[in-house]
């Protein structure tokens, strides 16, 4: 159970960093191309954390949530 909580915390930290970066993009009026590059970096963030089996189950779910959030804030 502790490992599950630890992994969930790591996933939420990645999500928070991603959303913080997204907010900076919006506040700084970054172009769509730069915005797309930022989205692609989230996969690297997950890889950098070297999450174990349980975290990897949820990685695709979190990526999908981030994708929906990203699209809803899309800069045109």
Confidence of residue 9 (pLDDT cuts 50, 70, 90): confident
CB atoms within 10 A of CB 10: 17
Confidence of residue 76 (pLDDT cuts 50, 70, 90): very low
Tokens 């070297």 identify what position? Answer: 50
CA distances from 56 to 23, 37, 51, 65, 69 (A): 26, 22, 6, 15, 20
Q: What is the pLDDT of residues 17-74, one digit of tens each?
A: 777 777 776 677 666 566 566 566 666 665 555 555 445 555 666 677 677 666 766 6
């Amino acid at each position: 159970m502790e490992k599950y909580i630890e992994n969930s915390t790591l996933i939420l930290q990645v999500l928070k960093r991603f959303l913080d970066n997204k907010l900076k993009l919006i506040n700084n009026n970054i172009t769509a191309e730069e915005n797309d590059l930022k989205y692609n970096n989230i996969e690297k963030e997950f890889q950098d954390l070297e999450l174990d089996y349980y975290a990897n189950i949820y990685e695709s779910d979190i990526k999908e949530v981030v994708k929906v959030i990203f699209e809803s804030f899309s800069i045109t």
